[in-house]
């Protein structure tokens, strides 16, 4: 039991990486085949229905036009998903933040290699030298040297970008700036604040004026109050959708809280692939666009600026995950095609099974293949069966309580008390001590909230079982006190 909580979190982290970046490997094959629209439609409908996915929207583009866009399932009870349904896109937001920063570079208002302090004079982290050395480029490439583990406020969210950036004064650098890639959300929150300081506009206003409207993204917004057709978010509880309220955090906006639609993302992909806005002007200077699509030299990294870059240099990828939403975008700049998949559900099970499989299969469809839908709803049912079996075992043990004293009456009293005390102390240590311990070792929030949001079924099972063990051990202790040892 000692490592159970850490194991669950580790599995969840690996699952997220698989969900977000596994298609990079299969995406190396070029999209030379023809897309079978009917097979794709049939496949997606089967996946949503068979795997109990509440809703999703997909768009596929090639050569400057939309080949396919459609919604599946429900945005909310009784309300179907359409290409105009709005979803949170999580970390796919970073590609917009990076583009916004590069727009300022293009305008001559910002220099990638100047330190952050040139634009935010009061900016600092725990290390004074690192505070002076971290540049805008480091933030874009996730090579600032900052990590979640070294930030005691990594799980703290604020109502403004300024507050979010000021919290970094307590963050320790893991490596010197520029030495190592470490994906870290705070890098892009700082970039969002730099954008505001340099442009004189709010992050949302700048994106609307410089990205959304020029590309025809008319339903993309930076605050849920502006999202009139926002989908309901869902978690997953033993294989079944569980409606949950997605929290919006203004201080985290540039790293993961943009709201958009499959239709608007199609316009975004077309604009990026062709480097052309609706008015015919380039989205960005081609040289700067190439910089965004090039990982930093000299270190082990495949991250450019707002995009994961495939080994061939022409495949761009990014995934996103919030508490109850997921997204995935893949672009092939050589064959001028791409797709986006938006989901209004997120959980560890989704990331390990259904959504990661769909993302990979969408790449195969672009490569002219026709993958067969696979029903993976069994995973949640297997988990439910194990949880119920465990619960019935607890019930069996509670029913045996009256006979427990007689059964153990002749056992060594000292050893019996050691086992009972351990049965009381250990569950308390798990429930009260594991989250703070994980916070100290790995970063994150010192509570059970984040694990519950990601895997409510497993955390419920773990905490319920641990609590029942504690209660039973307390009853054993009470019985030992009342009943003397028999000879």
CA–CA gap between residue 50 and residue 24 (Å, rounded): 26
The domains of the chain, with CATH numbers, are 4-366 (3.40.710.10), 378-482 (no CATH)
Q: Taking Cα atoms as reference points, which of 364, 422, 289, 346 lies closest to residue 29? A: 364
Tens-level pLDDT at each residue, the chain (487 residues): 333 333 333 334 434 444 444 444 344 434 445 788 999 999 999 999 988 999 999 999 999 999 999 999 999 989 999 999 999 999 999 999 999 999 999 999 999 999 999 999 999 999 999 999 999 999 999 999 999 888 988 888 899 999 999 999 999 999 999 999 999 999 999 999 999 999 999 999 999 999 999 999 999 999 999 999 999 999 989 888 999 999 999 999 999 999 999 999 999 999 999 999 999 999 999 999 999 999 999 999 999 999 999 888 899 999 999 999 999 999 999 999 999 999 999 987 776 667 778 888 888 888 788 888 887 777 888 889 999 999 999 999 998 888 887 777 777 778 888 888 998 998 898 888 888 777 666 666 677 887 888 788 888 999 999 999 999 999 988 888 877 655 5
Q: What is the pLDDT of residue 32?
A: 40
**Residue 147, Cβ density class (10 Å: 0-12 exposed, 13-18 middle, ≥19 buried):** buried
Three-class DSSP category at 69: strand
Q: Are 150 and 171 in contact (CB under 8 A)?
A: yes
Host H or E run for residue 106: helix 93-106
Distance of CA 376 to the CA centre of its chain: 21
pLDDT of residue 353: 66
Classified as helix, coil or strand, 396 is helix
Nearest C-alpha neighbor of 358 from the set 368, 343, 347, 337: 343
Q: What is the pLDDT of residue 27?
A: 40
A 10 A CB-CB count for 365 gives 23
The residues that bridge with 115 in the sheet, in sequence order, are 135
In the chain, DSSP finds a helix count (H) and a strand count (E) of 21, 11
Which among 43, 60, 72 is positioned nearest to 374, based on CA atoms?
43
d(CA 35, CA 210): 33
Global model pTM greater than 0.95: no
* Phi-psi sector, 342: left (phi>0), alpha (psi -120 to 50), beta: beta
Round to whole Å and give the CA distance between 115 and 36: 49
Q: Residue 84: its pLDDT value, please?
A: 98
Confidence (pLDDT) at 417 = 87
pLDDT of res. 87: 98
How far apart are alpha carbons 32 and 253 in whole angstroms? 37
Closest-CA residue to 75 (of 48, 56, 91, 100): 56
Q: Quote the CA–CA distance of 393 and 400 in Å, as a whole number.
A: 11
């Amino acid at each position: 039991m000692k490592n159970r909580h850490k194991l669950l979190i580790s599995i969840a982290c690996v699952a997220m990486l698989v969900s977000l970046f596994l298609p990079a490997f299969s995406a190396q094959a070029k999209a030379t085949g023809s897309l079978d629209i009917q097979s794709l439609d049939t496949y997606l409908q089967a996946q949503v229905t068979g795997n109990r996915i509440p809703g999703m929207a997909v768009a596929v583009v090639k050569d400057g036009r939309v080949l396919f866009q459609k919604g599946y399932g429900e945005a909310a009870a009784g309300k179907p998903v359409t290409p105009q349904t709005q979803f949170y896109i999580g970390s796919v937001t970073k590609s917009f933040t990076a583009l916004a920063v590069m727009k300022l570079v293009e305008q001559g208002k910002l220099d990638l290699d100047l330190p952050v302090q040139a634009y935010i004079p009061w900016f600092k982290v725990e290390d004074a030298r690192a505070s002076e050395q971290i540049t805008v480029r480091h933030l874009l490439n996730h090579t600032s040297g900052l990590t979640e583990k070294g930030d005691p406020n990594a799980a703290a969210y604020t109502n403004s970008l300024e507050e979010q950036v000021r919290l970094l004064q307590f963050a320790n650098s893991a490596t010197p700036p520029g030495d190592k890639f470490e994906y870290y959300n705070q890098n892009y929150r700082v970039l969002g604040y730099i954008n505001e300081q340099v442009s004189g506009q709010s992050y949302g206003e700048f994106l609307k004026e410089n990205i959304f409207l020029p590309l025809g993204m008319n339903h993309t917004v930076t605050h849920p109050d502006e999202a009139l057709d926002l989908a309901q978010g869902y978690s997953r509880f033993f294989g079944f959708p569980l409606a949950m309220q997605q929290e919006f955090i203004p201080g985290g906006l540039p790293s993961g809280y943009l709201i958009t639609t499959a239709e608007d993302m199609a316009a975004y992909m077309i604009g990026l692939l062709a480097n052309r806005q609706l008015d015919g002007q380039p989205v960005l200077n081609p040289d700067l666009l190439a910089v965004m699509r090039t990982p930093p030299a000299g270190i082990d990294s495949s991250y450019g600026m707002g995009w994961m870059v495939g080994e061939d240099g022409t495949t761009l990828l990014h995934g996103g995950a919030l508490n109850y939403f997921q997204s995935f975008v893949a672009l092939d700049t050589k064959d001028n095609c791409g797709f986006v998949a938006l989901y209004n559900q997120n959980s560890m099970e989704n990331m390990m099974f259904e959504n990661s499989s769909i993302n990979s299969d969408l790449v195969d469809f672009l490569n002219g293949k026709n993958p067969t839908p696979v029903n993976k709803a069994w995973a949640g049912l297997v988990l439910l069966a194990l949880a119920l079996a465990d619960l019935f075992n607890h019930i069996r043990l509670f029913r045996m309580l009256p006979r427990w004293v007689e059964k153990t009456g002749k056992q060594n009293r000292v050893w019996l008390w050691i086992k009972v005390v351990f049965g009381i102390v250990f569950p308390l240590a798990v429930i009260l001590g594991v989250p703070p311990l994980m916070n100290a070792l790995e970063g994150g929030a010192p509570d059970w909230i984040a694990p519950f949001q990601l895997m409510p079924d497993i955390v419920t099972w773990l905490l319920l079982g641990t609590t029942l063990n504690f209660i039973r051990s307390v009853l054993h202790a009470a019985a030992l006190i009342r009943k003397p040892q028999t000879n």
